[in-house]
Amino acid sequence: MVDRPNKPQALATTPGLPPQAQVNITHDNSRVSAVLPSGECIEVLLHGATVTSWKDRAGNERLWLSEAAKLDGSKAVRGGIPLVFPVFGTAPDHEPTSKLPQHGFARNSRWDFLGKSTTESSGQTDASVKLDFGLSTATIDDEAKKLWPFSFSLIYSVTLTPDALRTGIVITNDGDQPFEFQTLLHTYFRIGDITKVKISGLEESAYIDKVDGAKEKQQTGDVTIAGEVDRVYHPASPETPVVVSESGEAKFSIVRDNLGDVVVWNPWVEKAQGMGDFEPKDGYRNMICVEAGAVKAWTKLEAGDAYEGGQIISV
């Protein structure tokens, strides 16, 4: 092929075309990254379809990721946004999921990248990009099929805009038998100082305190963190945004769609010390998990039916 000195530029850089997001598959086809014209960017690991990074246009990271997180597919990622399905925690008393590992198999499975869709703009402030990922009975490993022998398909969508991140899941029962499931978006937010954090939007909500023997309690006022916290809230006002503030300034606002529960988690000192993939050990000071999900009860999906849920995180 002759290398012409005046060969034309690629279409994406042709003057006059509107700005659009750039999407790349990197790290030996293990990660998908996207950058908006305004500079915001995300990275998604195909192992678990885990969002591992979400940065603003100045390069500031919004998600917490452990320095010891395994990104080679050998185990679930500690940090970012792991996806929980079809069981939250473990459920030894729920026969269909009793043999599954902690938080199910979705976060430990290799997902397919189904493609992108972008919104072009005349400027840099209204462009967006949506990345779609898929997992199904046909693509999970044999061990997972053995432990959970139902026919299903999942489509997980991650949408980046200049001021928000949207994550949503569609779960379809492809078989001829109903099944029950739980699902959760296990979001690790990066913050500056956990002692200065307050979480609003859960006032007067009932919750299960897993640190105190799974006792049922009632929230009064804002949630503050002064020790290990592991709570499953069922918000009294499900339409009210859950807001994470630090030093009186709102940092994140989470609006849920068909995800009725909110888990709040911070391991604090002793639990962080005991987790091999949690680094640095004082990293609990710089993270808070606020997780939208459907986990307090089981969601039953009849043959051929589909379930859809998601969240919008605004900054």
CA–CA distances in Å: residue 269 to residues 57, 217, 265, 266: 33, 24, 13, 9
C-alpha 203/C-alpha 162 separation (Å) is 30
Closest CA to 201 of 259, 264, 168, 244: 244
Active site residue 186: yes
Pick the catalytic residue from 180, 291, 302, 308.
Answer: 291
Active site residue 43: no
Cα angle vertex 177, ends 171, 179, to 5°?
A: 45
Contact present, 108 and 186 (Cβ < 8 Å):
no
C-alpha 163/C-alpha 159 separation (Å) is 11
Pick the catalytic residue from 40, 43, 186, 246.
Answer: 186
Q: Look at the alpha carbons of 100, 103, 105, 109 in this order and tell me if their dihedral is positive or negative.
A: negative
Alpha helix ranges (H) inside the chain:
142-147, 268-274
Closest CA to 109 of 82, 87, 135, 78: 135
Q: Which residues form the catalytic set?
A: 186, 291
